[in-house]
Each structure stands twice: as C-alpha cells, then as structure tokens.
Structure 1
C-alpha cells in the first residue's frame, strides 16, 4: 500500500495582494483554495488560502517562480516566509531556487502588496 502524504503551503494575503497573487497562481495553473477559520478570539484581517497536493505532486518550482515574479513586478510587494524553526525570511531578492527551499520548510507565507493595482 502506498502511503503518500499531503503537504500544503498556507498563504495569508494582506492589503491589495489578494487579486493579483491569486490571479498569478491561476495563470500558472496552481490550484488553491480558501481556508475558513472560526474563532471566538479576534483574528488578523488577512485572507487565508492554501495550496495542497500529494507530497510528490506539489509544484514547488512553479510556486517559487510565481512568488519571485510577483514580487519583482512592483516595488510595493513583499512575501515573508515563516518556517517551522521560527525563522521569518523576506523573499525579496531571493532566487526561485532559494524560495523553493524555503517554501518546503514553511508554516505560513505572508503575501503583501501595499498599493492597489491602479496606483503606480
């Protein structure tokens, strides 16, 4: 019996990143879906999405390329990758290979664009 495990990349999208980042994932044909969170305590205002796949089928390279291209498209964009060891790494300036390695260790990925699309 084959016991493949599921892996997931948790994305928390803030400010104006929702439309453009999710569109970039869609364009790269990377499947994603919302995570609905329920709590009696106050929560952050970010939208939470996840990319989930069987461990052997996770498109790590494609996700990394989307992250790097999305950041490089505008100066107002930032991606922060949190790892299981407690590190927080800003992906701005990282190569796709570096981002891929970080994503494989991630517990949460923060995606931020501080300006709306119609602002330069």
Structure 2
C-alpha cells in the first residue's frame, strides 16, 4: 500500500458551465468523476464532480490553465475557489500560477456560466 497522500479537487458546476468546463477537462485528458449526494432535504441544484489523484500526480498546472482559459473565453463565466481557511476567491483576473496555488488549498471550486452556449 502506498504511503503517498491523495489530493481531491471538488468541482460544483452550476448553470450552463458544466458541459463546457467538463469538455475542457476531457480535452486535456484530465479524469473526473461525478459525486452523488443523497439527502432527505433540498439541496443546491449544481452537479458535483471530483478530480482525484496521488498528490504528486495531480495535474495542478493543467487544471489551473484550464480554469484561466475557460474564464477568459466568455464574460459570463466565473470560478470561485473556497479555501481551507474559509476564504472565497474569484479566480477572474488571476494567473494560472496563482490559481494553481489556490487549488492546492481548496475545499470546493464553483464553476458558473450564466449564459447558454451559442
């Protein structure tokens, strides 16, 4: 059994952002899988995906580049990174290297596109 730690990036995708963001991950060959939440109370309507890998194998840089490029492609897109310290950081305007540092301490990454694809 490996003594290496696993890393997890939890993505909550809302509105019209899910298809295009997951397509960007697929194009970069970054594996992701859905997380199913079961509850007897109402929940937010976003879908949840996870990217999991051994810490040393997590493609931090590639994911950060995808986030930055995805945001810059349309004005209606936003990515909000929640950190372990409770901060909420809007990734718009950040460089890929800055986003990469934030991802390593993230608890959830919210992906939103308020406009449908053309």
Give the shorter-chain TM-score range.
over 0.9
Q: Which residue is 1:105 aligned to?
A: 105
Q: Deviations over 1:8-62 (max 9, x none)?
A: 0000000000110000000111110000010111100000000000011000000
TM-score w.r.t. length of structure 2: 0.98
Aligned residues: 118
1:33 is matched with: 33
Equivalence map 1:1-120=2 (5 Å): 2-118=2-118
Which runs of no fewer than 5 residues in structure 1 stay unpaired?
none
Q: CA RMSD in A?
A: 0.8
Question: Alignment partner of 1:25: what SS?
Answer: helix
> Secondary structure of 1:38's match?
coil
Provide runs of 4+ in structure 1 moved above 4 Å. Answer: none
Listed one character per residue, the Cα deviations across residues 56-75 of structure 1 (whole Å, up to 9, x for unaligned) are: 10000000000000000000
